Amino acid sequence: MSAHIMVFDSGIGGTTVLEHIKQSIPNAQYSYFMDNAFLPYGAQSQQTIINRLCSLIHFIKANTLDVDLIVIACNTASTSALSAVRQVTDIPIVGVVPAIKPAAELTRSNHIGLLATPATVASSYTKTLIAEHARNVIVNLYSSVELVTLAEQHFFTDYLDTNKLHQVLDGLNIDKAIDVLVLGCTHFPILVEPISQYFEGNVKLLDSGVAIANRVNYLLNQLNLCVNKRTDIKKPLQYYATADVFSNKLAVKLVTLTDPSQYVEH
């Protein structure tokens, strides 16, 4: 049997990571879970995010989904809840955190920016990441919830309100000395072209997609999880959501996550 990889995000942003993983490991079995009832995670408390991820683990178990590896393709959830959720499951988990380290290595001006959600920017995980990997570099932090909404809209409708996007980016007042901007939210690569156009190509935009795909590949090999058996019959990618998705772009199964306080142990 092929390895079953579940990719998780609050919304559709994690598909930007999923694409990289699928490209690198085409023969695995995939499911995609979006907790869009609680979107945006960037505006949620750390405890709420921890509860939702613990509920996800419960959901996987209760529905015997046989997941071999979970990718939390959400910087907000990873920086808020990675260690807590690892304590409630044996399933290996790969988190997605802002690409601060490669950005610090890439910058020529010694000045980088992190564009992420308010929760990611405020998290102690992000502060540690910067302290450990960007000590000799100036790092400016910028947060936006509106960009998440614009990315969701753009994904599902193909429409982008460019004026609104420019308004949001203008409002962030991004320092002109920055030559590398970390896209520290998996929703933002959906907008990578218009964001790059906004900066007229003068700022390198960096996300963690390729690094995550490499990490997943490495872990599957370490765990001896087979992904290349020719005899495998691959099921179509299953999408789950916790709230209605107003688009017929994806076939989505609507599900509910039970709050940890409501679990009935058998």
Which positions touch ligand DGL (CB under 6 A)? 9-11, 13, 39-42, 74-76, 117, 120, 148, 185-187
* 76 assigned ligand-binding residue: yes
Reported as type and span, the H/E element at residue 205 is: strand 204-206
Instruction: Say how many Å lie between the first and final Cα of the chain, rounded.
Output: 29
Distances (CA, A) of 68 to 2, 6, 89, 213: 9, 8, 11, 15
107 vs 123, beta carbon nearer ligand DGL: 123
* 75 assigned ligand-binding residue: yes
* 9 assigned ligand-binding residue: yes
Beta carbon of residue 74, minimum distance to ligand DGL (angstroms, whole number): 4
18 vs 54, beta carbon nearer ligand DGL: 18
* 41 assigned ligand-binding residue: yes
In contact, 7 and 32? CB cutoff 8 Å: yes
Residue 240 burial by CB count (10 A; 0-12/13-18/19+): exposed, middle or buried?
buried
Catalytic status, residue 54: no
Distances (CA, A) of 34 to 24, 72, 109, 139: 22, 10, 37, 30
* 30 assigned ligand-binding residue: no
The runs of H, that is alpha helices, within 44-117 are 46-62, 75-86, 100-106
Q: Which two tokens stand for residue 119?
A: 């929760």
Residue 123 CA to its chain's centroid (Å): 15
Beta carbon of residue 115, minimum distance to ligand DGL (angstroms, whole number): 11
Among 74, 97, 195, 252, the active-site one is 74
27 vs 153, beta carbon nearer ligand DGL: 153
Among 103, 185, 206, 219, the active-site one is 185
Beta carbon of residue 224, minimum distance to ligand DGL (angstroms, whole number): 30
Side chain identity at residue 248, one-letter code: N
Beta carbon of residue 197, minimum distance to ligand DGL (angstroms, whole number): 22
12 vs 169, beta carbon nearer ligand DGL: 12
Supply the residues annotated as catalytic.
Answer: 74, 185
> Binding site for substrate: residue ranges?
9-10, 41-42, 75-76, 186-187
> Binding site: residue ranges?
9-10, 41-42, 75-76, 186-187
